[in-house]
Amino acid sequence: QITLKESGPTLVKPTQTLTLTCTFSGFSVSNSGVGVGWIRQSPGKAPEWLALIYWDDEKRYNPSLKTRLTITKDMSKNQVVLTMTNMDPVDTGTYYCAHRGGSGPTDWFDPWGQGTLVTVSS
């Protein structure tokens, strides 16, 4: 059974850097085809994809946020870490990590973690 759980601060100040950790079980991020993605959702809005890291360490970022994002993986700890710099109140929302499905060129997410609510406020 695959499970993922996000952890990190619930409150950050504007201009600070957010660091979120996704701790997972039930799969290995070193296996071919595997990936872990980060997706966020502002209250009442659609999800927004942020970043994705693959088994071969290829990384993809949402172009609109690319300059602020870094995604890394730690295979020994079964963790994927996302950092987002220069946080702003508009970045407030629930941040999810998710297991990347598929083994070909297409990407879908299943399952997702429970999400962690991040509020950006001074």
Partner 1 sequence: DIQMTQSPSSLSASVGDRVTITCRASRRINNYVNWYQQKPGKAPKLLIYDASTLQSGVPSRFSGSGSVTEFTLTISSLQPEDFATYYCQQSYNTLTFGGGTKVDIK
> Binding string, 92-111, against partner 1, x = CB under 8 A?
----x-x--xx--xxxxxxx
Quick check: 114 binds partner 1 (CB under 8 A)? yes
CA distances from 84 to 14, 69, 98, 109 (A): 12, 5, 17, 21
Looking at this protein, which amino acid is placed at residue 31? N
Quick check: 48 binds partner 1 (CB under 8 A)? yes
Residue closer to partner 1 by CB (options 67, 122) is 67
Q: How many residues bind partner 1 (CB under 8 A)?
A: 24
Quick check: 47 binds partner 1 (CB under 8 A)? yes
Residues ≥6 apart with Cβ < 8 Å to 92: 42, 43, 118, 119, 120, 121
Quick check: 26 binds partner 1 (CB under 8 A)? no
Residue closer to partner 1 by CB (options 14, 56) is 56
CA distance 28 to 78: 7
C-beta of residue 14 within 8 angstroms of C-beta of residue 87: yes
Residues lying near partner 1 in the complex (CB under 8 A): 37, 46-49, 52, 62-64, 96, 98, 101-102, 105-115
